[in-house]
Amino acid sequence: MGVNIQLEDSTGPGAEYADGGTETIVSEINITPLTDVFLVLLIIFMVTSTALVESEVASRAGMKVILPKANAAGPVSQRRSDPVLTVTKANEIYLGAKKVSPAELEAEIRKALQNVGSETLLIRGDKNVLLGAAVDIMSTAKRAGASHIAILTAPNAK
pLDDT digits (tens, 9 = 90+) for 3-48: 566 555 555 555 555 566 667 776 888 888 899 999 999 999 999 8
Between residues 52 and 5, the one the model is more confident about: 52
Over residues 77-91, the pLDDT tens digits come to 656 678 888 888 888
pLDDT at 116: 86
Per-residue pLDDT tens over the stretch 110-130: 998 888 888 888 888 888 888
| Same domain, yes or no: 8 and 47 | yes
SS3 11: coil
140: helix, coil or strand? Answer: helix
13: helix, strand or coil: coil
d(CA 106, CA 139): 9
Task: Tell me how crowded residue 85 is: count the other CB atoms within 10 A of its CB.
Answer: 26
Q: What is the residue-averaged pLDDT of the chain?
A: 78
What's the rounded mean pLDDT across residues 67-74?
Answer: 68
Q: What is the mean pLDDT of residues 44-70?
A: 74
| H/E element, 57 | helix 32-61
What total of structural domains would you count in the chain? Answer: 2
**Which residues lie across from 84 on neighbouring strands?**
122
Range of the domain at 127: 62-155
72 in the same domain as 18: no
Instruction: Verify that 38 and 68 share a domain, yes or no.
Output: no
- Compute the C-alpha angle 8/13/17, nearest 5°: 60
- Structural contact between residues 121 and 82, judged by C-beta atoms closer than 8 angstroms: yes
Same domain, 66 and 124: yes
Which amino acid belongs to residue 28?
E
Top-confidence residue, 135 or 18: 135
Q: 68 vs 109, which has greater pLDDT?
A: 109
Looking at the fold, whether 18 and 81 belong to one and the same domain comes out as no
Closest by Cα among 118, 134, 119, 125 to 152: 125
